[in-house]
Amino acid sequence: MADKPAAAAAAAPAGPTSIEMTEDGIAIITMNDLSERMNVLNKGMMEAFEGVLNKLESDSSIRAAVLMSGKDDSWVAGADIRMLDACKSAEELATLARTGQKMMDRLAGLKKPVVAAINGFCLGGGAELAMACHYRIVSTGSKTKIGLPEVQLGLLPGSGGTQRLPKLVGIQNAVTMMTTGQQLDAKRAKRNGFADSVADPFALRDAALQAARGLADGSLKRKPKAQPLVPTRLLEGTSIGRNVLFDQAGKMIAKKAGTAYPAPMEILNAVRAGVEGGHAKGQEVEAAAFGKLGMTSVSAALRSIYFAQTAAKKNPFPKPAEPASTVAVLGAGLMGAGIAEVTAHKAAATVLLRDKTLEGLSRGEKQISGNMDKKVSRRRMTKAAADAVTSRVLGFCDGVPGWDRQLPRADVVVEAVFEDLGLKHSVIKELEATGLRPDAILASNTSALPIADLAKASKHPERVIGMHYFSPVDKMPLLEVIPHAGTSDAVVGRAFDLGLKQGKTVIVVKDVPGFYVNRCLGPFMAEAFALMQEGVEAERLDKVMRDFGFPVGPVTLADEVGIDVASHVNSFLTEHLGERMGGSDATVLRDMMDRGMMGRKSGKGFFVYGKGKGKGAKTVNPDAKALLAKYLKKGASVEAAAAMDDATIQDRMAGRFLIEALLCLQDGIIRSPTDGDVGAIFGIGFPPFRGGPFRHIDAVGADNLRNQLRGFAAKYGPQFNPPRILNEYADAKKRFHPSE
């Protein structure tokens, strides 16, 4: 049947929604908020949707409706977070949630079927809107993502999501999705029950219209959910099983989230309330929890980081006319292969990957293909998509022809060779001699060497820049872009743009030793060694800092990066930062190296690591413990250190990090407190619920922190001296984020 709109379309509501009618009574509702890049549930959209519901209820000529988006990349990307920030109390937030719940209930209660034709981001409030529809068709387009990620903002779904999702996908799947922020593509959405069917993006409209007609005339019936496996039926289908399920889920959430992140437990409570007490009771608990969570400092911090990360994805420098289509990567080691992977995968660019030897090149290519295979096996990527990624990586090594013909194609060259200034100089000279294009930029993945020193080897120093990725590159979200004094703004813009295309959160930092993240990490690690030399045991130090909110304890971190690397970084930063790296005797690291204690890679460092399937297990290395005993400070002992309270350990460790972050802001190494927060969270895992170092200082109070640091300086040394900028903010009673 023809889908030609009828004349009645002229009566459609104005604003971010429009309605067109087919001749057989199907209303095609299009959401397209021209004031936003993506559709979001803001005040205007919700008011317009109330008008849509009025029309659907009152217009007898409408038999069914299709709800679709007028934007290519978003159906509805979620609720407008700015509405939350405008609320001043838990009750205001709960009222906002109840408003959303009523709208979704009204949609779900329509006597006329509504088909959600989903293409692009369908997240948060968007997913709740889709669940309130009577049938869901999901596009197989690559931009389609479905999920309820409110937990990442310290919240829970507040418009009925905790009640509708378990009915669609089952209790266990729903709790997992909501407590982790997991996102689904079309096939996974169909498999777990969220989607009724899937369609190619170009066929989505026709498929939705066909479904709407079938639902209206009764020829299409929603297929009953597939029967789950027996263990799932026993857990979810019986009261005893559900008690076991909720109790075990609660224990797992308590272990993983602890007390720092209250949202996962509130999600579980809301789901349980609905399962045991019905939809209305569940929504009552959901709305109250939404209000309570929204007023916590945790949610405020996570929301501010969301806005900061969003800002970091906007290029403030001249944007290139076209994105980089070909990127050369020199060095196929762990970092080089990682850079090649995100370039071929996320940026969809051709990669010219070169290593000195065929063995090194093969190892890098194997790393990339292995990561793609994992995505396929976990159903996060199709085999065809994975093959497309690996086919974009062209390998070269010494003795293999073609490099000199291919290099001139490169818009960007990233060198990721060994951290040796002489070697990097020779690489730069060779590249320019081989035929690097005059307009191509030359980026270094160095983690420490001054970019200005690297640029001295180039005939065109203005096109040399640092691009510091973090390991593992395919998982760590941060990229530090480091221009030297002579780097042109156009080159900075090109590097920034490439980082965004690679899926990175980008900050621009000054060309100084350690840049920003490693510069903050150095004194932090020095304090860890100082505490161990005062008798604090490695296991306790790790646990105390995990309790503070870091994902990995500092002792384990030293083992993970390698004792040799930790020693090199300590020496390098001590040379440049002086007493700011003080407080410990780093000779212990060299002694560990001499004894073969290189960290996880050698099987032993501060800890001993198992092999085989249990390789993640670790125990304290008795040899390292005995060696540390020789480095105990005068009068220190393990017994005396046991009396030191956890808060003192946390304050000392955090204090060293905060001091260096403050000095980076004071010296213009970072451009803003926001960049400092983003860099610390996404580069090293500073606790997100604390909002980053500068939001944490605001929460503690500049004057309180200054007094604490003065006390530590008097007791432990000048490495704790408060920076000038902290004194200025404390005296003026200023905040680093005054509007929050």
**Active-site residue set:** 480
- Across-strand partners of 394? 352
- Decide: 472 and 334 in contact? Cβ < 8 Å: yes
Residues with Cβ within 8 Å of 573's Cβ and at least 6 positions away in sequence, in order, are: 513, 514, 518, 519, 522, 523, 581
CA separation for the pair 537, 545 (Å, rounded): 13
By C-alpha distance, which of 504, 669, 527 is closest to 586?
Answer: 527
Q: Which two tokens stand for residue 617?
A: 């297990």
**Helical H segments across 435-514, by residue range:** 451-455, 489-501
CA separation for the pair 59, 28 (Å, rounded): 14
Residue 464 CA, chain-centre distance (Å), reads 28
Residues with Cβ within 8 Å of 138's Cβ and at least 6 positions away in sequence, in order, are: 118, 122, 144, 146, 186, 189, 190, 194, 195, 197, 198, 199
Q: Which two tokens stand for residue 509?
A: 């930092």
DSSP 719: G
CA separation for the pair 737, 273 (Å, rounded): 38
Using DSSP's 3-state secondary structure scheme, residue 399 falls into coil
Element (H, E) at 184: strand 183-184
CA separation for the pair 353, 368 (Å, rounded): 11
**Could you give phi then psi for residue 327, rounded to 5 degrees?**
-125, 125
Q: Which two tokens stand for residue 442?
A: 């030359």
- Decide: 542 and 556 in contact? Cβ < 8 Å: yes
Q: How many CB atoms lie within 10 A of CB 1?
A: 10
DSSP E strand boundaries for 600-692: 607-609, 618-620
SS (H, E, C) 69-118: ECCCCEEECCECHHHHHCCCCHHHHHHHHHHHHHHHHHHHCCCCCEEEEE
By C-alpha distance, which of 613, 612, 615, 47 is closest to 604?
Answer: 615
By C-alpha distance, which of 574, 536, 568 is closest to 555?
Answer: 536
Residues with Cβ within 8 Å of 326's Cβ and at least 6 positions away in sequence, in order, are: 349, 350, 351, 352, 409, 410, 411
Angle between helices 334-345 and 383-391 (to 10 degrees): 120
Residues with Cβ within 8 Å of 653's Cβ and at least 6 positions away in sequence, in order, are: 524, 527, 528, 531, 545, 548, 554
Peptide bond into 323 cis (omega under 30): no
- Decide: 429 and 342 in contact? Cβ < 8 Å: no
